[in-house]
Structure 1
Amino acid sequence: MTVDLSWIAVVKGLVLLLAANGAPVLTSVLADARTAMPIDGGFRLGDGRPLFGAAKTWRGLFAALAATALVAYGLGYGASTGLWFAAWAMAGDLLASFCKRRLGREEGSHLRGLDTPLESLLPLVSVKSQLGIGWFEIAFLVGVFYLIESWSSPLLYKWHLRKHP
């Protein structure tokens, strides 16, 4: 029986996506709220809205970097690949938050077609050669991650792990 190596890479890519995007959420539940220092320092732009918002914290950023580096190392990619992956996932998350604040959306709100694609597409493209995946696998992973996010978000809210469904 032969195993298509691209499917193994796809599963590993999904695990990295879950680590990078799940670590900040898990950390916000487990850590003391006093350690949640916003990345934007409370800065507001001329429109009166926050740059990113209070939910985007240094604690979450560092949690994503550390967790994804450990997971990537465990998957055989090396910690540097995990750091790079997490950095791009968090950049996508911050970009989505920036856009949502400009559109007047509340912190924690989801904007279908903006949040999940940015948080998954940017990191996958950034390490596609290290993961050994192509554009088809990236498109597949973005879609699967979108479905997982759509399915899990209401559950995380119900279980009080998220502030908004």
Structure 2
Amino acid sequence: MTPTLQMLALVVWANGVPVLARLLLGHRLAHPLDGGRTFRDGRPWLGSSKTWRGLGAALLTTPWLAVLLGLPWLFGLIAALGAMSGDLLASFIKRRLGRQPSEPALFLDEIPEALIPAILLMTALDLSASGVVIVVIAFALIDLLLTPFSARLRRMIKSIRGWS
């Protein structure tokens, strides 16, 4: 597998596993990272959809994926930290713009989550600049395709389990 595909797999997993954890666990362990605190503008720092459960899922499982891909576990941890940092940065910016948690923001939801980890691992994986661009574009396309599917799946699971 090429470094570009390895990086893409790490980014997709690190960003997707919090969603998977939410689908599997519902509201269990869904404590907001910001503790419900607000910024000086009166809006939440991050919002209720950024949870310790999602962060933990990414940080604990992405290193295992790295090992399965033949990479050091530390690369998976770095990818997860980068992806989650990008996700949190995007959420912080979205709250400042008055967007609600989980409300889509084209490119803001995709670029930081893929770009930050790709840059962090660029040298270690011997990724070229074009490889980084490919990872970001491919992740954005995958995210744009899978987000509506995961939203429908979440609604279906909620109706089956009676979650609110």
Say whether 1:149 aligns with 2:149: no
Correspondences of 1:75-94 after superposition (within 5 Å): 75-94=69-88
CA spacing shift, 1:88–1:161, aligned 2, 3 Å = farther
Structure 1, unmatched stretches of 5+, are 1-6
Per-residue CA deviation, residues 25-84 of structure 1 (Å, 9 max, x unaligned), is: 000111251311111011101221100011101110010011211001111211111111
Alignment TM-score, normalising by the size of structure 1: 0.90
Structure 2, unmatched stretches of 5+, are 159-164
Say whether 1:59 aligns with 2:53: yes
Say whether 1:105 aligns with 2:104: no
SS in 2 for 1:33: coil
1:39 maps to a residue whose letter is L
Alignment TM-score, normalising by the size of structure 2: 0.90
Give the Cα separation in 2 of the matches to 1:35 and 1:161: 19
Say whether 1:44 aligns with 2:38: yes
Give the Cα separation in 1 of the matches to 2:68 and 2:116: 22
1:156 maps to a residue whose letter is S
Aligned-pair RMSD on alpha carbons?
Answer: 1.7
- Please, which of 108, 114, 121 is the counterpart of residue 114 of structure 1? 108
Give the Cα separation in 2 of the matches to 1:113 and 1:161: 24
